Amino acid sequence: MMRGIVLAALLVAAPAAAQVRPDQAAFRGLYKELVETNTSLSAGSCTLAAERMAARLKAAGYADSQITLFSVADHPKEGGLVAVLPGSDPKARAILLLSHLDVVEAKRKDWTRDPFTLIEEGGYFYGRGTSDDKAHGAIFTDTMVRLKAAKPLRRTVKLALTCGEETGEAFNGAEWLVTNHKDWIAAEFALNEGSVGMRDKDGKPVSLGMQAGEKVYQDFRLEATNPGGHSSRPRPDNAIYSLAAALSAVGKYEFPVQFSDTTREYFTQTAKLTGGEAGAAMLTLIANPGDAAANATVSKDPTFHSMLRTTCVATMLDGGHARNALPQRAGANVNCRMFPGDPIDNVRAQLVKAINDPAISVTPIGDISPTPPPPPLTPLVYGTAKKLAEKHFPGVPMLPAMTTGATDGRFLNAGGVPTYGVPGRFSDPDGNGVHGLNERKSVAGLYAERDYLFDLIKLYANAKDSK
């Protein structure tokens, strides 16, 4: 366990050329291969990435019967992988490791470095997917390789590498597995992305997080229509003006504060760590979610603001049909991240009320996401992770967390496999460029996370089933 303590200390200040262990060097090669396999929807191939990871598993001794590569005919480049390491007890329920292979688009001209070349610089790995989510994909694949060479574990360990998490129009492998081959991924629980710890501006670890529950992704189409006409004869009910007023109203609207068991505990513990005016405001808000002053203080932090409520934001615009004509139609996409348990109809009703214009239609669009309740933070799942973290990351508290984004865990949770965002990673205050430019991952942090998760997975795989 001492290696975890040493690496945790390196999170504060990691030299660019820090010496690595031989097993870390081998892992770096796997991570490099995965990051440098372009898996963006426009130009990449998850199928190729899955095939490359399958080759590594086969080289480690996995039989063909233990590896399944899958895809569908109309999405040949969006395939995935399921691998199985049998446990010694056939009656013990399996655990599942889940990671998505696909990444957000990245344009070379916008990046300082080539987004699909792994570059180590200043204590960080740079590249698209270095954090989201090829860090987990590499760690989980590497763990399966290492476990194959070790003493058999009590439980079966499964690995699912899927595509489609980042893009709505893509083939979603996790959803497909739940719908079509649930037996392939049957498990007592799954480990996934979705939770991060935090570092302060000086690089010091502040907290670890374990995610249980997530917001629900839902897009709404706002649209104004009009008979239109010649642009030389303006009329007051211009579709573009009506839409602009509606979007302004949405931008100003604040959804009410809500708490779940997870977020209530998160803010209770964060208040103790934060102290001062902000900490006191958190406790006040827990006691009275309607306290406007406390809400204003806590919501100054954009992450806290999102964790406290449903949020909706305009993300795309379209309108008009000719430069010399009054617009007959103007529309916008409003992306909502709904607090767990906040129904679509309720969110839509609040948008309609805020807009206060019957000429604006508000319509849910796209796939309707499942809205499962958050999985329980059981002694086996949460207690084991927290106890181990005390050895790997001494003095760093672990907090239950709800992610404000969306992950493929929602499909597994809805399908009866409780899915958790694993602790072990730390984020800088700026978010490390995830989904943005120059995405990066701490070198020492990645190695520390790998060690922690390897030990955690072994503990889970040798544990007795939950009652």
219 sits in which H/E element: strand 216-225
DSSP letter for 40, please: B
Burial state string for 342-367 with b = 16 or more CB within 10 A and e = fewer than 16: bebeebbebbbebbebeebbbeeeee
Burial state string for 52-76 with b = 16 or more CB within 10 A and e = fewer than 16: bbbebbeebebeeebbbebbeeebe
Instruction: Please give the structure tokens belonging to residue 198.
Output: 């935090």
Q: How far apart, in Å, are the Cα atoms of 151 and each of 127, 331, 461? A: 35, 59, 12
- Alpha carbon distance 433, 423 (integer Å): 19
Q: Which one, of 169, 198, 31, 20, lies nearest residue 99 by Cα?
A: 31
AA identity, residue 426: F
DSSP letter for 143, please: H
Instruction: Please give the structure tokens belonging to residue 259.
Output: 């708490």
Instruction: Please give the structure tokens belonging to residue 85.
Output: 């390491």
- In angstroms and rounded to an integer, the radius of gyration of the C-alpha atoms of the chain is 23
**Average pLDDT of adjacent 10-residue blocks, the chain of 467 residues:** 42 53 97 98 97 98 98 97 97 98 97 98 97 98 97 97 92 98 98 91 91 92 96 95 98 96 93 94 98 98 94 98 97 95 93 97 90 89 97 96 91 95 94 96 97 98 84
CA 406, 458, 427, 212 torsion-angle sign: positive
CA 448, 451, 457, 463 torsion-angle sign: negative
- Alpha carbon distance 358, 96 (integer Å): 48
Whether the Cβ atoms of residue 285 and residue 291 lie closer than 8 Å to each other: yes
Which pLDDT belongs to residue 295? 98
DSSP letter for 110, please: G
Whether the Cβ atoms of residue 271 and residue 280 lie closer than 8 Å to each other: yes
CATH class of domain segment(s) 2-214+373-462: alpha beta
Q: Where are the domains of the chain?
A: 2-214+373-462, 216-365
- Alpha carbon distance 248, 222 (integer Å): 12
Backbone angles phi, psi at 186, to 5 degrees: -55, 130
- Alpha carbon distance 123, 133 (integer Å): 19
Whether the Cβ atoms of residue 336 and residue 347 lie closer than 8 Å to each other: yes
Rounded to two decimals, the pTM is: 0.88
218 sits in which H/E element: strand 216-225
Topology of domain 216-365, CATH: Alpha-Beta Plaits (3.30.70)
Which residues, 6 or more positions from 246, have their beta carbon under 8 angstroms from its beta carbon? 222, 224, 332, 355, 357, 360
State the SS3 of 311-326: EEEEEEEEECCCCCEE
